[in-house]
Amino acid sequence: MKPPFTFRRILYSFPIILYPFLVNLTEFLAKTEPNLQKVILAFAESAKQIDSEIRTHSTDKAGTKNEFGEEQLALDVAADKIIFAELEKSGVVATAASEEQSEEKALNPDGEFSTACDPLDGSSLVDVNLAVGTIFGIWKSKKLIGETGRGLVAAGYAVYGPRTTFIIAIDSAPAEFTLQENGEWKLTIEKMEIGEGKMFSPGNLRACAENKEYLALLDFWAENGYQLRYSGGMVPDIHQILVKGKGIFSYPGSESCPAKLRLVYECAPLAYLVEHAGGASSDLEKSILDQEIQSLEQRTVVALGSQEEVERFEKFLTV
């Protein structure tokens, strides 16, 4: 006897209903160009190892400084080493740049990709046990100088918080994977999209002493009932905008408190993710993705978030 139509329909739809729960990162990447898969999986494997280091390693300072003169934690150095080892193993990366190193490093002369990463962004938050992250961008080119964010073929980040998550966009809306006890990355958000909503993540407030336009925008947000969500970690702050699907992250500057966030290691990869989620980015003149990489140390004013909020940022701060 044929099972009733409804039972059969449920049975046949079973895989579709469970799809998000059945898919892991490797399966998700099945249609991605094989060598690009290798780079993405190198960052995913690095994230697993960095996650383990954070939960067990000391938060001691390494006694060294990075190229920006910032104190390095032993964890910063450990995360950097992990990523470079995995990228080297992939065999397809020509050059790799890291916020923790002064120059880009040649890895494989036959490699077709260049990568830039911030191995442990917000590491100064580890000792207070707040969420931190790894940010990465992947270009299909032999070098980064002269490229723009438009040349990115993929970008992503990992969030080391109560859960460990890995977010990736490959010329599509970002997807989120959550690390499982068995070491698998399970698909937990298939498509992250940014709409509109009253949430703001305002960085560099000390700039308001001179930047009165920024102060006026903060007044607007406060007077119009916006939710304040700012942790001091760019990765969880941007992740919140992508998961909640609303809001804006801002980090402008002033003469005595200049904008400090880096184009190649932080702003371009995150702008790629936000714009692929239907949001917008701005350096006050144009999309962050249109800013040419002239040096690895390049810093930029940055706003990332919903279309309307980024437009408002530009309207208030462009005098």
In the complex, the smallest distance separating the C-beta of residue 7 from ligand P6P, rounded to whole angstroms, is 52
In the complex, the smallest distance separating the C-beta of residue 124 from ligand P6P, rounded to whole angstroms, is 6
Nearer to ligand P6P, 124 or 287 (CB): 124
Q: Which value, to the nearest 10 degrees, does the dihedral of the CA atoms of residues 84, 79, 297, 239 take?
A: 110
Nearer to ligand P6P, 94 or 126 (CB): 126
DSSP state of 3: P
Tell me which of 20, 195, 232, 245 binds ligand P6P, using CB under 6 A. Answer: 232
Distant-in-sequence, close-in-space partners of 299: CB < 8 Å, separation ≥ 6 = 258, 259, 260, 261, 262, 263
Cα–Cα dist 221/186, whole Å: 36
In the complex, the smallest distance separating the C-beta of residue 251 from ligand P6P, rounded to whole angstroms, is 6
In the complex, the smallest distance separating the C-beta of residue 250 from ligand P6P, rounded to whole angstroms, is 10
Considering the rule CB under 6 A, would residue 100 count as an interface residue with ligand P6P? no
Contact, 246 vs 199, CB < 8 A?
yes
Tell me which of 156, 174, 202, 233 binds ligand P6P, using CB under 6 A. Answer: 233
Beta strands in the chain (DSSP E): 61-65, 71-73, 93-98, 105-106, 113-121, 132-139, 152-160, 164-169, 175-179, 185-189, 199-202, 227-228, 248-251, 280-282, 302-305
Q: How many residues belong to the site for ligand P6P (CB under 6 A)?
A: 8
Tell me how many degrees the CA angle 58-63-65 measures, rounded to the nearest 5.
115
Tell me how many degrees the CA angle 65-273-54 measures, rounded to the nearest 5.
40
Nearer to ligand P6P, 41 or 77 (CB): 77
| Element holding 7 (H helix, E strand) | helix 5-22
Task: Give the interface segment with ligand P6P, choosing from 4-12, 45-53, 118-126, 280-288 (CB under 6 A).
Answer: 118-126
In the complex, the smallest distance separating the C-beta of residue 51 from ligand P6P, rounded to whole angstroms, is 17
Considering the rule CB under 6 A, would residue 156 count as an interface residue with ligand P6P? no
Nearer to ligand P6P, 37 or 204 (CB): 204
What's the full length of the chain, in residues? 319
Residues of this chain, 119-138, that bind ligand P6P according to CB under 6 A = 121-122, 124
Task: Give the interface segment with ligand P6P, choosing from 18-26, 166-174, 229-237, 303-311 (CB under 6 A).
Answer: 229-237
Considering the rule CB under 6 A, would residue 234 count as an interface residue with ligand P6P? yes
DSSP per residue, 264-307: IIIIHHHHHHHHHTT-EEESSSS-GGGS----TT-B--EEEE-H
Letters for 187-226 (x = contact with ligand P6P by CB under 6 A, - = none) are ----------------xx----------------------
Task: Give the interface segment with ligand P6P, choosing from 16-24, 71-79, 176-184, 227-235 (CB under 6 A).
Answer: 227-235
| Element holding 212 (H helix, E strand) | helix 212-223
Q: Which residues bind ligand P6P (CB under 6 A)?
A: 121-122, 124, 203-204, 232-234
